[in-house]
Amino acid sequence: MTARRVLITGVSRFWGGQLALRLEAERSVERIIAVDTQSPAVDLKRTEFLRADIRHGLIGKVLSAASIDTVVHAGLIVDPRRAPARVVHETNVIGTMNLLAACSAGDSPVRKLVVKSSTAIYGASPEDPSLWSEHMRRSAAAGDAFTRDLDEVEDYVSDFRVRKPEAVVTLLRFANVLGPEHDTPFARLFDLPAVPTVFGFDPRLQFLHVDDAVAVLERAVVDEKHGTFNVAGSGIVLLSQAIAMLGKLDLPVLPFAGSDLAMSLLNRVLPLGFPPHLTRLLQYGRVVDTSLLAQAFPGLIAHSTAETVDAHARERRVRDIADAQRRRVRHEAEMEEFLRGGATKTAAANGHRPRRSAGTKAKKTASRTPRRPVRRRGDG
Amino acid sequence: MAELHGTGAPSSNGHRRRGSLERLRAELPVAAMSATGALAVRLQELTGRDVIDIESLQEIVALGYRAAEVRSAHRGGRYEVDDFGFDPEFTNAVLPVFRLLYKRYWRVETTGIEVVPRSGGALLVSNHAGVLPFDGAMIEVAVHDHVDRFARALIANWFGGLPMLSWFLRRTGQTLGHPDDSLRLLKRGELVLVFPEGVRGTGKPFSERYRLRRFGRGGFVQVALRSGVPIIPISVVGSEEIYPMIGDAGVIARLVGMPYFAITPTWPWLGPLGLVPLPSKWRIQFHDMVRTDDIGAEAADDPAEVMRISDQVRDTIQAGLVSGLAERRGIFRG
């Protein structure tokens, strides 16, 4: 397999954007088409942006018209603060269903699928095994909408495996991600001066460094690794340990019975956006076995869980300064664009002409830098 | 209080105050130790016998020191726990409490512990009794003090949902009784301690003490066969009498989701005081190991073979209990 024509979903959010950036530097990737309902948050050069909804039936036509051989479904919304609950469900479940239906159609050129899922699928309960392997399933039914959606998404992936047995399917279950600029529920929780914890519980947690997460996504696209993989930094931290590393105060104020309710109340007072499935994680913890990933992608995870938390703590200490710097860089870029006669705010400003793929009726716009500086979005 | 100062703004004033506080904290145990030592000697002179036991005193002081050490080492989160949440430093710090119980309170007599290997995995299998799992703690003290290893006990699932206790058990190296957990630990060459009777053992009435319950479905044998580690049967005598369970309030148990709610002559009548276990005299006997590496992992799928080994282990433990009881002259004198 020499050249690849890759389609990426969810490019307006963190993962899709980062992956597109990385794949642009990859020589073997011939063409990158990014699909989303909103413009990408990052400045993309040779990626062709297609404003389309993956719930739309036309997505199959895009696949065949551009003879896409690899689809990366990085568009799952994991952070409930990104969108209203109904939109999250629609995007995650209906979007996946439609996308995979298009991929598994008889005339579909797709022969490889990479899906970004979450270790949240294992749930968190007192009866859990200490380490989850990929083949294990949680015993209880899903207790919240997000986990239920995740179940359905992975069911669709299994269906796809059955319907297209010759295709390479890489299902990546990401642990909670921490990293600079990456806004996640855990990052918001750790930003509080005193971190609310569940009284009498000190869960074992795993984190994944944002750079490692992007590296795994990229390798999964470039390499041919069939299977399901847990993706997390090696080792664990206890919640109290993470809080100590961040230099915050451990505040065991959440009651162990009804911690969900207490957290939802807290969510109303503070803009945490901390969903119920993470509240259970805060009580019972979760650790996954990453040995399969280490076998398939040796040496790819550079940060252990403890190093990830440590890196996050360092980054948070200088965040104000870093933010100001980033703003300046962005302002300079905008000014340069203006000086170059950037009145025509098209892809030409980014140094490439948008190509038009034949037979596509979906509205298409070239990628461009958003007018307002936005923080990189993400999930996980 | 010191932590509060640590996170606050580093004013010069705060630094000086913390310095003196820390010095006081460092010197206080030494001063207390020497004062109590002097008191002990004085009391011995006055009464002619050991009123304050110096050895126990040392254990208590060691506990205080280790706790302070662990606290300062753990500040800033710079410590290692394994994937199961086991924190060896913390465990070493709390061990003196259980060592005191082991030596002074239950005066545990341990025999045959030489069979426990100094390295490599082994499955320790014991009878289970006494409402609260103190027998596990005592076996762990015995293993730690004689073989210098930490045994990792598998605990009942419902412990995982209990506040404080679940935290403490995980931190000291225990894990849930999930077959995958024990396989993982054994493959890493750890000592794993299991109680095949489970809550059927701890929740049995006083009248049925030292009568072994069913050994599950032989799951522990399958785990040992799959990982090729030897099984070491253990008989514990004395644990049955620490909480004589004269009744089981099933209604309350169901209400709070516990497998049983023990009623003893003192609990719940005396409140928290009823939780004080009785000072019976204990005997822990380690039996010769049952080797599984010569049988082969495929025997784990043969129910007849699994049940044969399970019965063999059960019979060994029951025989050990009988001989231990025969030797015992009194519950408390031993």
Question: A69-113: per-residue pLDDT in tens?
Answer: 999 999 888 887 788 888 889 989 999 999 999 999 988 999 999
Residue-level pLDDT at A311? 93
Residue B8 has pLDDT above 70, yes or no: no
Confidence bin at A360 (pLDDT 50/70/90): very low
Q: Do B83 and A131 touch (CB under 8 A)?
A: yes
Question: Of B322, B330, B253, which Cα lies nearest the Cα of B287?
Answer: B322
Residue-level pLDDT at A380? 41
CA distance B85 to chain A (A): 6
Residue-level pLDDT at A352? 46
Please give the tally of structural domains in chain A. 1
Residue-level pLDDT at B98? 93
| Residues in B touching A128 (Cβ below 8 Å) | 160, 176, 178
| Residues in A touching B157 (Cβ below 8 Å) | 126-127
Q: Do A202 and B161 touch (CB under 8 A)?
A: no
Paired tokens of A225: 């690794």
Give yes or no for a contact between A234 and A175, defined as CB atoms under 8 angstroms apart.
Answer: no
Paired tokens of A211: 């750079």
Paired tokens of A131: 């380490």
Is A245 in CB contact (< 8 Å) with chain B? yes
Rounded to an integer, the average pLDDT of A224-234 is 95
Any idea of the CA torsion for A221, A225, A226, A231, to the nearest 10 degrees?
A: -80
| pLDDT over 70 percentage in chain A | 89
Residue-level pLDDT at A196? 93
CA distance A229 to chain B (A): 18
Residue-level pLDDT at A75? 86
Residue B130 has pLDDT above 90, yes or no: no
Residue B72 has pLDDT above 50, yes or no: yes
Interface contacts A/B by beta carbons within 8 Å: 87
Residue-level pLDDT at A81? 79
Confidence bin at B326 (pLDDT 50/70/90): very high
Rounded to an integer, the average pLDDT of A322-345 is 74
For A14-39, write each residue's pLDDT tens digit: 899 999 999 999 888 999 999 998 88
Residue-level pLDDT at A48? 92
Q: Is A287 helix (H, G, I), strand (E, B) or coil?
A: coil
Is A287 in CB contact (< 8 Å) with chain B? yes
For B273-316, write each residue's pLDDT tens digit: 888 899 999 999 999 999 998 888 899 999 999 999 999 999 99
Nearest CA in chain B to A239: B77
Residue-level pLDDT at A135? 95
| Residues in A touching B84 (Cβ below 8 Å) | 130-131, 204
Closest Cβ–Cβ partner in A202, A287, A309 for B167: A202
**Beta bridge pairs of residue A115:** A73, A171
Confidence bin at B266 (pLDDT 50/70/90): confident
Residue-level pLDDT at B16? 53
- Please report whether residue A323 resides in a domain: yes
Residue-level pLDDT at B6? 39
DSSP tag of A132: B
Mutate to test the interface with A, among B71, B81, B86, B158 (most CBs of A within 10 A): B81
Residue-level pLDDT at B17? 58
Q: Do B81 and A241 touch (CB under 8 A)?
A: yes
Kindly give, in sequence order, each residue whose CB lies less than 8 Å from that of residue B83, ignoring residues fewer than 6 positions away: A130, A131, A204, A235, A236, A287
Rounded Cα gap, residues B56 and B97, in angstroms:
10
Kindly give, in sequence order, each residue whose CB lies less than 8 Å from that of residue A296, ignoring residues fewer than 6 positions away: A223, A225, A227, A229
Residue B246 has pLDDT above 60, yes or no: yes
Residue-level pLDDT at A309? 95
Query: What is the domain extent for residue A62?
Result: 4-350
Confidence bin at A216 (pLDDT 50/70/90): very high
Q: Sort strands A112-118 and A70-73 into parallel, antiparallel or unpaired.
A: parallel
Rounded to an integer, the average pLDDT of B112-124 is 95
> Which region among A248-252, B53-57, B168-172, B277-281 has the lowest average model confidence (pLDDT)?
B53-57
Residue-level pLDDT at A246? 92
Any idea of the CA torsion for B34, B40, B44, B45, to the nearest 10 degrees?
A: 40
Please provide the average confidence, as pLDDT, over all residues in chain A: 86
**Residue A60: count of CB within 10 angstroms of its CB:** 19
DSSP tag of A119: G
Is A202 in CB contact (< 8 Å) with chain B? yes
**Residue A193: count of CB within 10 angstroms of its CB:** 9
Q: Sort strands A237-238 and A204-205 into parallel, antiparallel or unpaired.
A: antiparallel
Residue-level pLDDT at B12? 44
For B133-145, write each residue's pLDDT tens digit: 899 999 999 999 9
Based on the number of CB atoms within 10 Å of its own CB, is A227 exposed (0-12), middle (13-18) or buried (19 or more)? middle
Residue B56 has pLDDT above 80, yes or no: no
Residue-level pLDDT at B233? 97
Mutate to test the interface with B, among A133, A206, A237, A238 (most CBs of B within 10 A): A238
Paired tokens of A74: 């990085």
Residue-level pLDDT at B239? 92
- Which comes out higher in pLDDT, residue A291 or A42? A291
CA distance A293 to chain B (A): 17
DSSP string for residues in B167-221: HHHHHTT-EE--HHHHHHHHHTT-EEEE-TTTHHHHT--GGGTT-----TTSHHH
| pLDDT over 90 percentage in chain A | 57
Residue-level pLDDT at A3? 52
Residue-level pLDDT at A42? 87
> Which region among B229-233, B241-245, B285-289 has the lowest average model confidence (pLDDT)?
B241-245
Residue-level pLDDT at B313? 96
Rounded to an integer, the average pLDDT of B323-333 is 90
Q: Is A85 helix (H, G, I), strand (E, B) or coil?
A: helix
DSSP tag of A28: T
Q: Do B163 and A236 touch (CB under 8 A)?
A: no
Residue-level pLDDT at A8? 94
For A160-174, write each residue's pLDDT tens digit: 999 999 999 999 999
Across A271-285, B1-15, B133-147, B249-263, which has the greatest mean pLDDT?
A: B133-147
Residue-level pLDDT at B3? 40
Please provide the average confidence, as pLDDT, over all residues in chain B: 86
For A175-196, write each residue's pLDDT tens digit: 999 987 788 899 999 999 999 9
Residue-level pLDDT at B248? 86
Residue A367 has pLDDT above 60, yes or no: no
For B152-167, write each residue's pLDDT tens digit: 999 888 788 888 888 9
